[in-house]
Amino acid sequence: AGERQARTRYTYYSSIAKKEGFVQIANIFLETAEQEKEHAKRFYKFLKDDYVDEQIEIQASYPVSFHESTLKNLLAAASGENEEWTDLYPSFAKTAEEEGYPEIAVVYRKISEVEARHEARYKKLAKNIEDGTVFKKDEVTLWKCGNCGFIYEGKEAPEKCP
C-alpha cells in the first residue's frame, strides 16, 4: 500500500513541478512513480500467492505531504524514501527471513537499494533548486528542448527555444 501511496504523491508532485517550470523534475517524479508501481506489484504478488480471495488487515501510517512547492515536495519525497530504505524494508526483510521466506527478504533488500538511490536523486534535485542551479551551471552544458529536440550549448538554459 505504501508504494501505491508514493506513486500517487509523485504523480501529484510531477504536476506541481511542471506548473513551476521544472519539466525535467516533473519527468523524474513520473519515472519514479512508475518504479514505485512496479515495487507494489512485486509485493502484491507475494501476498496473492498465499492469500488469494482473503482479506488481510494492514495497519500502517502514510505521510500526507502535498505542497504547492517542488522544493518542499522533493524534500518530503527524500524523507519518505529514506524511511523505506533505512528502516521499513530492512525490518520487513528481517521478518521475512525469520518466517522462512528468504526470497522475499532478498526482494526487500534489493528494493531498499533502489529507494536509497531515489532519496539521493531527490536530495540532489532539491539542492539544485536551493542553489539556483537547475537552469544555470558553472560549466558549459548541453540544454535540450523537450519539445523539438534543439540542443543549445551554454552555461544557462535559454529562456525559450530559438
Cell of 63: 505521510
From the list 136, 130, 121, the residue with the least C-alpha distance to 70 is 130
Q: What angle do CA 34, 3, 55 make, to 5 degrees?
A: 125
Residue 16 φ then ψ, to 5°: -70, -45
Looking at per-residue confidence, does 138 or 147 come out higher? 138
CA of residue 11 relative to chain centroid, distance: 10
Q: What is the pLDDT of residue 34?
A: 95
Which of 92, 132, 117 is closest to 31 using CA atoms? Answer: 117
User: CA 86, CA 115: separation in Å to the nearest integer?
Assistant: 9
Q: pLDDT tens digit string along 8-55? A: 999 999 999 999 999 999 999 999 999 999 998 888 888 877 777 777
Return d(Cα 93, Cα 75) in angstroms, integer.
Answer: 26
- The dihedrals phi and psi of 38, each to the nearest 5 degrees, come to -65, -40
Domain ranges of the chain: 2-131, 136-162
In angstroms, the CA 89 to CA 114 distance is 11
Residue type, 42: R
Tell me the pLDDT tens digit for each residue of 52-100. 777 777 766 666 777 899 999 999 999 999 999 999 999 999 999 999 9
Q: At which residue does the C-alpha cell 501505491 appear?
A: 4
pLDDT of residue 161 exceeding 90:
no
Class of domain 2-131: mainly alpha
Q: What is the pLDDT of residue 46?
A: 84
First vs last Cα of the chain: how many Å apart? 45
Give pLDDT, residue 4. Answer: 80
The pLDDT of residue 2 is above 80: no
pLDDT at residue number 57: 76
Task: Indicate the pTM of the whole model.
Answer: 0.87
Q: 10 Å Cβ neighbour count for 92?
A: 19
Mean pLDDT of 118-122: 97
